[in-house]
Amino acid sequence: MAGCPDWCCLAHSSDSPISHEARSIEVPVGFGEDGGQFFEVRAVQYLTEDSGTTHACEPVPFVEFAHHVNGRYSLINMSTAQARALVDALLRSIDAADSASGTERHQRKSSQYSGSRT
């Protein structure tokens, strides 16, 4: 498909796809009775409006963040700047929690959560 970004994992069957989507990354969260929850993160670029019409301007890719609990999920869409702010907040909190518990500081490697579902 012409114009498909490198990160898109969809095999588009039409010349006018609805979206480009990156492969989802799932991060388990929760403890004890709250276990079994997970965050699902991926990059998405919707090419048409909900009505099916084409966007007036070039659609911007964003980061889709879903919290799955008991088969239900809530969805949060973030700009890349908002997603970076969230990552920064998470890293600061991780460093604070690790230093408080004496655990090694977080290694800032982007490959840490490379698991994905197919």
Nearer to Zn ion by Cβ, of 8 and 41: the residue is: 8
Is 66 within 8 Å of 30 (Cβ atoms)? no
Query: Which residue from 33, 31, 32, 7 is spatially nearest to 21, judged by alpha carbons?
Result: 7
Residue type, 50: D
Should residue 9 be labelled a site residue for Zn ion when binding is judged by CB under 5 A? no
Should residue 8 be labelled a site residue for Zn ion when binding is judged by CB under 5 A? yes
Rounded to the nearest angstrom, the gap between the alpha carbon of residue 27 and the centroid of all alpha carbons in its chain is: 10
| Token pair belonging to 69 | 């609990």
Looking at residues 20 to 39 of the shown chain, list those that interact with Zn ion (rule: CB under 5 A): 20
Segment interacting with Zn ion (CB under 5 A) among 7-15, 59-67, 73-81, 100-108: 7-15
CB of 48 to Zn ion, least distance (A): 13
**Binding-site ranges for Zn ion (CB under 5 A):** 4, 8, 10, 20
